[in-house]
Amino acid sequence: MTTDAYLLAAFRYIHQIDVVGVRSIDQYRWSSYRTYLRLRSAPPLLDTTLLDGMLGGPEAMRTFHEVQGMADLVREGADPVGTLRQLIDLAIGVVALDLEDQVLTARLDRTVIHLLDGIPGIDPAALAELRGTGRSTNANTLARRRAEDRLANDPAVERILRFIADQLAPSDEVRPQPTCRLGSDLNRPGGLQAGVSWGRLVRAARR
């Protein structure tokens, strides 16, 4: 993890992986979140020094998990291109974990990069740089069409886009929702509405 923004986003997501039957993350006995809140002592394998220092103690930690969305980290990041790249990598990694034995197809990051235009919170300049500022309009148009075709045929692409939208949602819209599996429900209040297809949105954006 090469940026603080990416580290904090991954840290927050790991703590907020929803657990069936638990209303809030501080009630889950196996989460390290309780250690960061000083509700229990740290086991030998857990060193809380770095992230504790970055956030400033238990109350700051609680506030961060309650209201902090990835959108703020992206806006405040000193390296918007690197932060966006790492958010894409994080999304692909999370979906890959949920798919377990299924292997994601190659160059998925390039596909995702050409489908991010409709997501609020994406830095247009950073997105353009990731795509390649020297590419011709025709090259970008062809790449976009290939990405749309892949979106239509690979369910993992839509799940990755939904995860990114959720992470970039305004802070007051980001709330944990109970799910059965890691990443198994990316239709959350901060993301797209349930039943809305990314493929349909992409086609509408081109009209």
Q: Which of 27-36, 56-65, 119-128 has the highest mean pLDDT?
A: 119-128
The pLDDT of residue 152 is 93
The verdict on pTM exceeding 0.85 is no
Higher-pLDDT residue of 4, 51: 51
Which tens digit of pLDDT belongs to each residue from 131-165?
Answer: 886 677 888 889 999 999 999 998 889 989 988 88
| Alpha-carbon 101 to chain mean position | 21
